[in-house]
Amino acid sequence: MTNMRKALKPAVWMFYVVIVFEILFMISPFALYFYSAYGPTLNVFHRWPWTAWLTQFFLPHISETSSPLLNALPGLGGLLILAGAVLFLAGAIPVYWAKLRGRGPVTGWLYALIRHPQYVGLAVIGLGTLLIWPRFLVLVTYVTMLFLYAVLAHWEEEQCLTRFGEAYRAYQARTGMFLPRSLSKRLPRILPVSTSKRVLAVLGLYAVLLPATITLGFGLRDYSLSKISAFYTKSTAVLSPALLTDQELGAAYRTAIADTRVQKAIIAARPAKLIVYVVPVEWYLPDLPIEAVHKSGGHQTRADFDRRHYKVLFTAARIHTVEATERDIITSAYGRDPIVLAKVDISVPEVSGIDTPPPHVVWGDIPTPMF
């Protein structure tokens, strides 16, 4: 059991850093190096339809929506990351200072309220990251991490009881594990006192909550897709990251698809299903394979964009379910292959230019958000 504990703790940290912090690596200068190793791992999931959904996103990342709540989630995620980092540091510094000074257990300040503020801080950081980078794989990992943190916290408390005895037991009696005692004592006890029964109960709870959370994620994805600018046919999904009117979205698509050069490119690619993106010409979205030259600063999405000029990106959906139609094209696709990029002016209407888009996004052939 001791060896298992020693092996589990670094493994938990490794999964947390690699998967939950994917978004932090992406915006860092080390993104290309990170994805050179991590990208192939993500693409392994695409080999089978029963795992391909793990790399998909369940909330909008590149799209504006008609829901103020959905639009506010990335900002909320940033605040949670900041708050979680402050909480983690506020919990970590006293502990390591006490170790350096050779003192006993830390029971003051934050530790006078909860016994594991560091784990709570990490959980808050993880939730914030999940809202900013809502990949299903991150969701699964996040829920798993919460359970593993609870297991590690129990193990650490057993060690403290062995080392400090009744003094630590008294400390447990007046504090909460992850919430202040005044709140935690009001919650119903769902785990038995017996260690063996508690392990079985935790495994059972995990087996119930993980599928329930994934189901909630699928529901959130359907809700999100109902709030973006989009229309669908049996073989084509047309989306815009900007919040366009139906007339603007339709005009941009019709103008582009009427061009013979676009038609020839699509015929040559022979896609089973098309995913088309209508992007304001001033916008820069590194998550889409539009620009060959990477710009610093992440998303550049002016609110007062020119509503006449658009970049229309035609892509072939990477999809296992070739019979998928309409919105199911988006929910079934695990990637896209760029075909052709048309620049249109819907006020004329005319195609002002045709370009060959890059083969993939700047980070390489990795799964990025579909919407």
DSSP sequence for 75-89? HHHHHHHHHHHHHHH
Boundary of a domain, candidates 204, 225, 246: 225
- The reply to whether 171 and 253 lie within a common domain is no
- The reply to whether 73 and 186 lie within a common domain is yes
The three-state secondary structure class of 333 is strand
- The reply to whether 55 and 188 lie within a common domain is yes
- The reply to whether 218 and 236 lie within a common domain is no
Assess contact for 120 and 135: CB atoms under 8 A.
no
Amino acid 15: pLDDT: 61
Boundary of a domain, candidates 198, 225, 252: 225
- The reply to whether 269 and 158 lie within a common domain is no
Range of the domain at 28: 2-225
Boundary of a domain, candidates 172, 195, 225: 225
Q: How far apart are CA 364 and CA 206, in angstroms?
A: 35
Q: How far apart are CA 229 and CA 277, in angstroms?
A: 10
Considering the domain boundaries, does residue 29 fall inside one? yes
Amino acid 47: pLDDT: 92
Going 294 to 296 to 299 to 301, the CA torsion angle's sign is negative
- The reply to whether 35 and 155 lie within a common domain is yes
Assess contact for 57 and 134: CB atoms under 8 A.
yes
Considering the domain boundaries, does residue 370 fall inside one? no
Considering the domain boundaries, does residue 364 fall inside one? no
Amino acid 191: pLDDT: 65
* CATH of residue 86: 1.20.120
Structure tokens at 229: 């600018």
- The reply to whether 70 and 171 lie within a common domain is yes
- The reply to whether 219 and 249 lie within a common domain is no
- The reply to whether 253 and 167 lie within a common domain is no
Considering the domain boundaries, does residue 362 fall inside one? no
Considering the domain boundaries, does residue 66 fall inside one? yes
Considering the domain boundaries, does residue 238 fall inside one? yes
Amino acid 29: pLDDT: 52
Question: pLDDT 10s per residue in the chain (371 long)?
Answer: 555 556 566 666 666 665 565 665 555 555 555 555 666 778 889 999 999 999 999 999 999 999 999 999 999 999 999 999 999 999 999 988 888 887 777 888 899 999 999 999 999 998 998 999 999 998 998 898 888 888 888 888 888 899 889 999 999 999 999 999 888 777 777 666 656 677 788 888 999 999 999 999 999 999 999 999 999 999 999 999 999 999 999 999 999 999 999 999 999 999 999 999 999 999 999 999 998 877 766 688 888 999 999 999 999 999 999 999 999 999 999 999 999 999 999 999 999 999 999 999 988 888 999 99
Considering the domain boundaries, does residue 64 fall inside one? yes
Q: How far apart are CA 63 and CA 138, in angstroms?
A: 19
| Number of domains present in the structure of the chain | 2
Considering the domain boundaries, does residue 6 fall inside one? yes
- The reply to whether 171 and 305 lie within a common domain is no
Amino acid type, 329: I
Amino acid 95: pLDDT: 86
- The reply to whether 7 and 150 lie within a common domain is yes
In order of 109, 149, 164, the CA distances from 114 in angstroms are 9, 14, 18
The count of other CB atoms within 10 Å of the CB of residue 43 is 17
- The reply to whether 136 and 238 lie within a common domain is no
